[in-house]
Amino acid sequence: MKLTVTYQERYSRSELLLRSIFGVFYIVMPHFFLLIFMGIWGSILSFIALISILLTGRYPESMFEYQVQLLRWQLRVNSRIQNLSDGYPAFGLNGTDEYTSLEIEYPERISRGTTLLRLFFGIFYVILPHGFILYFRVLWGVILQIYAWVSVLFSAKFPESAHTFLVGTLRWQYRVNLYMGNMTDVYPPFSSKEEV
Amino acid sequence: MNKKIFIELVKSLFLFGGILVLFYFGIQFLSEDKKVRWFASDSEFISYEKEIQLGDLIAEYIIEKDKKKRIQNQLIDSVVWVVSSHLQKELNLTEYDYKIQVIDSPEVNAFTLPGGRIYVNKGLLKFCDSAEQLAAVLAHEMGHVEKRHTISKLVKEFGLKIVFSVLGGDVLLLNELWETVLSSKFDRYQEKEADQFALSLLEKAHISPTAIASFFRKLNRHNLDYNEKIEFLMTHPHNNSRIKRSLEYQTQKDFKPKRINIDWKNIKNKF
Amino acid sequence: MSAEKYVKLPQPQDLSEREKEDAMGAYLMMFAALATSLPLPIINLIAAIVYYYINRKKGRFIHFHCLQSLLSQLPTTLVNWGLLFWALQIFFFDNFEVDDWFYAYLGFAILANLIYFIFSIMAAIRARKGIFMYFLFFGSYAYHRVYGASNELNYDNEKLQNPKTQKVNSPPFL
């Protein structure tokens, strides 16, 4: 999986203020309204894919593509909510974005055994350990977001380390989601770095 | 549409319709008795003698410990005797010697003990609009007795061991048994059985079976209008279908209902 | 009797893996209610309808299976709704009674769901292998609708039929 959110040399103060005050209305509400329905369909497809994996050992390609497109859409919206990127996130599954990119390789085979293991014990060996660390990362991420907000407001610069940390948290979350969503058999590393 | 497709549609409709009809005849084959027996087998472990003995023990408890006051009024006793004798003389092959007593309580309620003891509250007597309605209530309660619903309820709730220990002299649990008799509901099969028994008994006694419907209708109206939860309704639910059943009951062709020879309105004023 | 012309049926080797997988997915929509944790009979039907409209243009093979799955889902859903309604009337609203017809219908509904489930799994497995499986009536009808010459739908994996005469524009009113 390759998740990137481009670090901008300069961030727009006016967009920052606009997002902070009205972002709920013009970004969150319209996108989330659509994402809820897409998400419901995504969870149905995910369940169907689980059965398909148990029957055939493969994640159906069209369903996989749908999930990837949905994840890309969510990433576009998340990067704006966290002020990691400027601009308005594109609507739709086929939307493109100059600042964010998500590439997930299609797995030719998914192990049935690993799928069953994830289904019954995933909470113990994936959710608990990763969730524990991510909980603290997210908390620290909130503090960094506030710091970055003030920094952009005064200097139009997003602190690069904060950007790397926040994008790293997103990357980590996506890796866990991919593994628990049966989209990969690679156990998510305890790392936020791109190259592991 | 293609003719062949149409033929397939007809074939599939016939197939599934046929399956449904087959199921219906299959269920018919498993007769009503067999179905109901699945629910009513607990009472078979207690003999009639033991059931009557248990009823006597609970009756003693009601009067002595719970202090339920029996009304000993000649008028009320004779009214109840007249109505119940209309019914009892049509009861063939019964194991029970019915004892119907009136309790001095304003609540609209009646309850049955195992062994043929039926208690009717004064409130219910006052609530009835006619002697026929009282006959309907008594016939219904007799239905619960004849079909052994109360004893079955007690055995189901407490188990045979406890019932036998009460019979053996353990009076501490009498209160529990009594509370159950007073408050718990009969299930819809038991209500249906008691109703069917009552309808048939009323017909034999030349009392119009629609008296059941009129009594329950009045209960429903009173329940809605006054918003007081009538105890009798609480322990005898599933009213709409029961009213319907009473009204749809087919009597014999030569059936002629007779009024019970009691001036009910006049007597009610004297209660 | 005019004989309708039908498009030639593809053989398993003519179909791509994707087509076979998408066709299999159509039958697995019956598990959609489980995915949403709402045991309502209508969820499966809605999922089947949505899947049908999303996937039908991808290819005739997929269209056939989506249509067959959707059509067979309809009577099953109706039977389940009937059972739910009747059971509520008996046990909740007290308007009807448990009688022999209710028992018969209950048995029939259980059998209908079982038949639907078994046949859908069988059809899903065969669709995954690129094999056609025809349900009673629904199979023939779906075949007629999809592979009949009168089907004017343009599929993504087929060359556009008569591109010069393709109707794109039409007036705002009839």
Residues C100-140: pLDDT tens digits? Answer: 788 888 889 999 999 999 999 999 999 999 999 999 889 99
Say how many C-beta atoms besides its own lie within 10 A of residue B78's C-beta: 12
What band does C3 get if pLDDT is binned at 50, 70 and 90?
Answer: low
Contact at CB, A48 and C32, closer than 8 angstroms: yes
- Closest Cβ opposite residue C137 in set B9, B188, B192: B9
Say how many C-beta atoms besides its own lie within 10 A of residue B242's C-beta: 23
Tokens of B148: 């052994």
Higher pLDDT, C154 or A196: C154
**Which of the residue ranges A80-84, A167-171, B245-249 would you say has the lowest mean pLDDT?**
B245-249
Which residue in chain C has the smallest CA separation from A40?
Answer: C36
Higher pLDDT, C55 or C2: C55
Tell me what pLDDT residue C169 has: 82
Interface test with C, best of A37, A44, A52, A56 (most C CBs within 10 A): A44
Boundaries of every domain in chain B = 1-30, 33-270
What band does B65 get if pLDDT is binned at 50, 70 and 90?
Answer: low
Average pLDDT in chain C:
86
**Which of the residue ranges A128-137, A176-185, B30-39 would you say has the lowest mean pLDDT?**
B30-39
**Which chains neighbour B (Cβ–Cβ under 8 Å, 3 or more pairs)?**
C
What band does A91 get if pLDDT is binned at 50, 70 and 90?
Answer: very high
Tell me what pLDDT residue A109 has: 92
Tell me if chain C has a CB within 8 Å of the CB of B240.
yes
Residues comprising chain A, all counted: 196
Q: Long-range contacts: B49-54, Cβ < 8 Å, 24+?
A: B50/B167, B51/B114, B51/B115, B51/B148, B51/B151, B52/B96, B52/B97, B52/B114, B52/B115, B52/B116, B53/B115, B53/B167, B54/B113, B54/B114, B54/B115, B54/B151, B54/B154, B54/B163, B54/B166, B54/B167, B54/B177
What band does C161 get if pLDDT is binned at 50, 70 and 90?
Answer: low
Residue B210, pLDDT above cutoff 60: yes
Q: How far apart are CA C122 and CA C30, in angstroms?
A: 13
Tell me what pLDDT residue C2 has: 47
Interface test with A, best of C21, C66, C117, C156 (most A CBs within 10 A): C21
Tens of pLDDT, residues C59-89: 999 999 999 999 999 999 999 999 999 888 8
Which residue in chain B has the smallest CA separation from C91?
Answer: B238
**Which chains neighbour A (Cβ–Cβ under 8 Å, 3 or more pairs)?**
C
- Closest Cβ opposite residue C31 in set A40, A48, A56: A48
Residue A81, pLDDT above cutoff 70: yes
Tell me what pLDDT residue B154 has: 81
Tell me what pLDDT residue B161 has: 74
Tens of pLDDT, residues C121-131: 999 999 999 99
Contact at CB, B24 and C98, closer than 8 angstroms: no
Boundaries of every domain in chain A = 2-180
Tens of pLDDT, residues C12-22: 998 999 999 99
Tell me what pLDDT residue B40 has: 44
Q: How far apart are CA C26 and CA A63, in angstroms?
A: 12
Query: Measured at the alpha carbon of residue B184, what is the angle toward residues B181 and B185, in degrees to the nearest 5?
Result: 120
Tell me what pLDDT residue C173 has: 80
Tell me what pLDDT residue B175 has: 75
Residue A99, pLDDT above cutoff 80: yes
What band does B215 get if pLDDT is binned at 50, 70 and 90?
Answer: confident
Distance of alpha carbon B39 from its chain centroid, rounded? 16
**pTM score above 0.80:** no
CB C23 within 8 A of CB C65: yes
Please report the sign of the dihedral spanned by the C-alpha atoms of residue A184, residue A187, residue A190, residue A193.
negative
Tell me if chain C has a CB within 8 Å of the CB of B1.
yes
DSSP-assigned beta bridge partners for residue B103 = B70, B121
To 10 degrees, the CA torsion angle through C93, C97, C100, C101?
Answer: -40
Tell me what pLDDT residue C93 has: 74
Tens of pLDDT, residues B31-51: 555 554 444 455 566 788 888
Please report the sign of the dihedral spanned by the C-alpha atoms of residue B245, residue B246, residue B247, residue B249.
positive
Place of tokens 């009747």: C86
- Arithmetic mean of pLDDT, B22-30: 79
What is the SS3 string spanning chain B?
Answer: CCHHHHHHHHHHHHHHHHHHHHHHHHHHHCCHHHHHHCCCCHHHHCCHHHHHHHHHHHHHHHHHCCCCCECCCHHHHHHHHHHHHHHHCCCCCCCCCCEEEEECCCCCCEEECCCCEEEEEHHHHHHCCCHHHHHHHHHHHHHHHHCCHHHHHHHHHHHHHHHHHHHCCCHHHHHHHHHHHHHCCCCHHHHHHHHHHHHHHHHHCCCCCHHHHHHHHHHHHHHHHHCCCCHHHHHCCCHHHHHHHHHHCCCCCCCCCCCCCCCHHHHHHHC
Q: How far apart are CA B196 and CA B140, in angstroms?
A: 9
Higher pLDDT, B105 or A78: A78
Burial of B196 (0-12, 13-18, 19+ CB in 10 A): middle
- Closest Cβ opposite residue B11 in set C95, C105, C136: C136
Residue A127, pLDDT above cutoff 50: yes
Interface test with C, best of A47, A48, A94 (most C CBs within 10 A): A48
- Closest Cβ opposite residue C100 in set B19, B28, B188: B28
Question: Model ipTM?
Answer: 0.82
What band does C172 get if pLDDT is binned at 50, 70 and 90?
Answer: confident
Higher pLDDT, B179 or B129: B129
Average pLDDT in chain A:
93
Residue B233, pLDDT above cutoff 70: no
Find, among B270, B269, B268, the residue nearest to B125 by Cα. Answer: B268
Higher pLDDT, A64 or B60: A64
**Which chains neighbour C (Cβ–Cβ under 8 Å, 3 or more pairs)?**
A, B
Place of tokens 């493109």: A96
Tell me if chain C has a CB within 8 Å of the CB of A46.
yes
Tell me what pLDDT residue B38 has: 42
Whether chains C and B touch (3+ CB pairs under 8 A) is answered by: yes
DSSP-assigned beta bridge partners for residue A129 = none
Tens of pLDDT, residues B132-162: 999 999 999 999 888 888 888 888 777 777 7
